[in-house]
Each structure stands twice: as structure tokens, then as C-alpha cells.
Amino acid sequence: MSFPYKHVLLIGATAGIGRAMADRFIETGIKVTAVGRRQERLDEFVRKHGEDKASGVAFDISGISKTPAFAESVMKSYPGIDCLFLNAGIQNAYDLSDPATFDLERFQNETHVNYISLVALVHAFLPVFREKDTPTSIIFTGTNIAIIPAATLPAYCGSKAALNVFTLCLRENLGNTKIKIIEISPPPVQTELHDYMGESGRSFGMPVDQFTDAAHRGLLEGKDQIVIGAVGPAETFNEIVEKRRDAFENFAKLMRSAH
């Protein structure tokens, strides 16, 4: 089976892509422990699917000083977890030309949540995954605009670009382990992520069911890089993605041979 994992810990599972993927996993017989900030949504998720298939843990990933204790507690409660799915994220628009309205604190928080907090989670869970005898995986929800950025979303695109680089490096570093590193790169998807756009936000992008179908299909096919949609012409965008991956891997081989 190309997706052999039995129990997914899904960070950011209470809305949008995370919730849709959590539902899909459970539909296919995979247990899900959902993580999010809103306890009422976690409770509703567990009620919907039943405690034999679903569980919920409330945690704010921005508080990275608490991440190690969170990881220890979760793995003690659910030792069968073999897949860490990092999906949480924030997106806001900024006008960098006007310092009077540019909210630096919000910008910093967005980059922290979208990147640093996920690195902290990987750091906390990696030792446990390395000790397991069975295959494990870490899945990241990236974005196509990490490769071709949207000018109005510098914090989101920049933090996701950093996450993309981290994913490439982590995959290379763990090449001799049983831990598979997977990145899903979506286009805009109709979710709460776009609520800052107003009433039109949740109708912007690909329907979430269409995205979920494509993402799940890529996971079952065993892909470690699942690119859905494109920024601009698909042929050009996919060529950029593929050539960048090839260039990275060739450079990684060169660096290995130098040591």
C-alpha cells in the first residue's frame, strides 16, 4: 500500500483543508487525532466520527515552548501515531508601500505560525518517529504561491517558501531512514483561510472536495511531492517546480560527495 500509515496526527484539523483531509482519512479506515485551538470543533469532529476512529487535542502551535510537552503527551496517549500532518496556517494581505498601515506584529506572527511553529513540531516528534520500526511520515501543506508568490501576500508566501526549503532539506537529511517526507502544494482552495477577503473569500479558488480528491489520490500513488493546479500556465509552472527539484537533488549529491 502506497499510504501504509494507520494513525494520522493532523495539526490544523478544525477547518478548511485540514478538516476535509481528516474526514477523508477516516472514510478510508485511518484513525485521526485532530489538533486545533477550538475545543468545540474538536468535540464536534469526534462526535461525528466516533471515539474509535477520531480523537481531538486542543493546542495552540504558536506557543513553541510548550511543543515538546505537547508531543510527549500526545505520543503517550496515542502511541500508534505514525503520520504527522502539518497543515495549520494563517494568510493575510499587506500593503508594504504604506508603513502607517503595515502591521509588523501581525506579519511576524503569521510567519511564526506558518514556519517556525511547524519546524518546532518536527523537532519534537522526529526522535519518536526515528525510533519506530514501522514506516512513518511527515506531511506538509505547502502552496503553489511559495514558488510563484502573490505580491499582496508577502508573509504567507515568504513563510511557505521557507517551509518548502525546509521540506526539501528534511527529505534529503532523512533519506536513510523510514520516515517519508511529503509535501502537498495546493492552489487557492475555498476555505476559511481567505476570510480576510470578505464575503467573496470562501468562494475563491478550487472547491475543497476537488482538492481533497486530488491530494488523497497523490498520497495513494505514493508521491512525495503532490502539486495540484498551477500559478499561470500549468506547463511553465510545473517545469519550474520539476527543474528546481532536480537542481536541488543534484546539488545535494554534490554536497554529499564533498564530505
Condensed to tens digits (0 to 9), the pLDDT of residues 132-159 reads: 999 999 999 999 999 999 999 999 999 9
CA angle 9, 14, 17 (to 5 degrees): 80
What is the structure's pLDDT at 202?
A: 61
- Which pLDDT tens digit goes with each residue over 163-214? 999 999 999 999 999 999 999 999 988 866 555 566 665 656 688 999 999 9
The answer to whether the beta carbons of residues 36 and 14 sit under 8 Å apart is yes
DSSP 161-205: HHHHHHHHHHHHHTTTSSEEEEEEE---BSSGGGGGG-TTGGGSS
pTM of this structure: 0.94
Total number of domains constituting the chain: 1
- The pLDDT assigned to 190 comes to 82
Query: Which amino acid, one-letter code, is at 56?
Result: G
Amino acid 2: pLDDT: 83
Q: pLDDT value at position 203?
A: 58
CATH code: domain of residue 210: 3.40.50.720
- Is 53 buried (19+), middle (13-18) or exposed (0-12) by CB count in 10 A? middle
Supply the DSSP symbol for 6: S
* 216 belongs to a structural domain: yes
Is 112 part of a structural domain of the chain? yes
Would 25 be classed as within a structural domain?
Answer: yes
Is residue 173 domain-resident? yes
DSSP character for 116?
A: I
Distance separating the N- and C-terminal Cα atoms of the chain: 36
Domain that holds residue 142: 7-231
- Quick check: 119 pLDDT over 70? yes
Residue 121 forms part of a structural domain: yes
Does residue 150 belong to any structural domain of this protein?
yes
Q: Does residue 54 lie in a domain region?
A: yes
Tens of pLDDT along 41-93? 999 999 999 999 999 999 999 999 999 999 999 999 999 999 999 998 899 99
Orientation angle between helical segments 39-49 and 16-27, nearest 10 degrees: 20
